Structure 1
Amino acid sequence: MKSWWIRTAGDGMAVELREVPPPRPGPGQVAIRIRAASLNRGEFIAGHGLHAASAPARPAGFEAAGEVTAVGEGVVSHRAGDRVMGRCDGAFAEHGCMQAVEAFPVPAGMAWEQAACATLVYGTVHDCLIAQGRLAAGEWLLVTGVSSGVGVAALQVGKALGARVIGTSGSAEKLERLRGMGLDVALQTRTSDFVPAVLQATGDAGADVAVNTVGGSMFAACVEALGFEGRLAVVGYMDGIVRAGIDLAAVHKKRLQLFGVSNKMRKLEHREQAARAFERDLLPMLADGRLVPVVDQVFPFAELPAAQACMERSQALGKIVVRMD
């Protein structure tokens, strides 16, 4: 089968197409014929992303949707022909394997392209807003880089939970589109100058939860923009900055909670717990249309490098997907 592999190349990540044997499902796994797979920015950040700089090439991709072709030992929850979506190591390929507990049924009527990006970003947002963020109805949510995949999902989940959402983006066009999805306060900026506007919007109370998808350049401003007992989720490093100073006095007097959201060091047992929480809290919203994955562009499988370039230029609103022929 055809499979894209990824490796560090200088200050970037390079992909190459290989011919490899189809994988076989191990115990607790399902094998799938992949129909679509989504790009996740963390995989394409060199140095501090999901791949160490010195690591050898490995199969690329982490999320896919397709039909089950075989099940491994002990799997009774799935059978051949089931339409599933979820985490899939080596997703940019014609075939792949998923842990059965992370293979969710594709909601009726959902396109393959949407299903391919319906689990990882919403699972990440569940961690940000529900599991750790404890976002409640009526609270203020601040999202930096709100037009990113995680940013758009955070906007949707935040609104579904009854929160009011403030989002930053450098694109006026993207912000206008996001207003149509419920964005309450749109701040057009690519810098950390948004604090006064956040305080004004919240009546000087500050945000209750902040999701920083951008990185270190926004960290201090997010701390400043939080209110009493605010919670800050550190998610990504689009700016490439992984270090930032901490205003300990602000953390102390405002009783802030700062936490990271990452799958990099999670063991399978942690992933299984997260999968059950996603299935309980967010899968019903995907099934009934309260949450709709936003797919900006779809590329053919053979054009993964072009899809990667599009993502690295931050051209998309929401997710970028590759579709198998």
Structure 2
Amino acid sequence: MTSTSIIVKVPGPADFHVHLRQGDLCELVTPHVLQGGFSLAYVMPNLAPPIKNSDQALAYKSTLEQIEPGVQYLMTLYLSLELTPHEIRKAKQAGITGVKSYPRGVTTNSETGIESYTAYYPVFEEMQNQDMVLNLHGEVPSDPSTNTCVMNAERHFLKHLETLHRDFPRLRIVLEHATTKEAVETVKRLGSTVACTITAHHLALTVDDWAGQSFHFCKPVAKYPEDREALRAVIREGHPRFFLGSDSAPHTVNKKATATPNQACAAGVYTAPILLPLVAHLLESFGALDRLAAFTSGNGRAFYKVQTTNLRAVTLRREPFRIAESLSLKDEQVAPFWAGKELNWSIGSDDDLT
């Protein structure tokens, strides 16, 4: 390390929205959480089949811990009609953190997602009583009759967020992976029990970057430049209820690179292996590097009520880091976001702490 190296320390980086998959793909991608600088992962339940009860969640957690024991995994359940208030109480006792809601058919493995929230009100009431977190994929399904499509699906969803907050004011709710100015403004207005995750790739992309580029295609899709600027602005502001949830979503290269007349490419951007350097690179680019620790650790940990003190710091050095073209294990191959591109930041060593 030279005397002119710029060092930034982040205590206990925490990613509050991660997809870790199953089988060989799970073996490949789970270690990338730690490789990307993160010691806490909030794990999504949309496997095939989904994680719908506490026993399944604990078994999945055990699998993840065997693959990479250096990460703290916070587990979630998939909101379905099989979920009951009794199971919510059981989940709380088992240390499960939240429940994820997917509107039917809007993203990967959401075919059994919900169509109406009212049927789940007893579950939400018990979640409120147990102080569990409700995570909302904030889109409604496309519907030509109402002029609803991927570009305005999030805006149409916000009325549901407002209703749920009104009916369950003590329930902690996280609007996941916001992409629009309207979403930012709504979350800011709703108050202390409503928070919002922002992904790294939505800080980088707009609609022009994914139209015709399958590796930048995700759900929700990146929107307009003014929407991206709203995401950046709320981070510059240092708002305490906005924090990183990467939505890092690995799909094999063949599923991302190919499409047929009857099958679109897979929706998802894979950022886990490069996440902390990537976020530092992006925040520096729009004048928010001083918010890095709060955005990638402090804000989310505070909202989720997980450890916020005596955290081991990860150091970043301001030196070039070239992203790999692909990563593979056995027959599984994934391509990270911005494959082959050079970032301005890299993860340092323990020697940088002295």
Query: Same fold by TM-score, threshold 0.5 exceeded?
Result: no
Question: Hey, which of these two has a bigger chunk of strand by percent?
Answer: 1
User: Structure with the greater relative contact order (CA < 8 A, sep ≥ 6): 1 or 2?
Assistant: 2
Question: Hey, which of these two has a bigger chunk of helix by percent?
Answer: 2
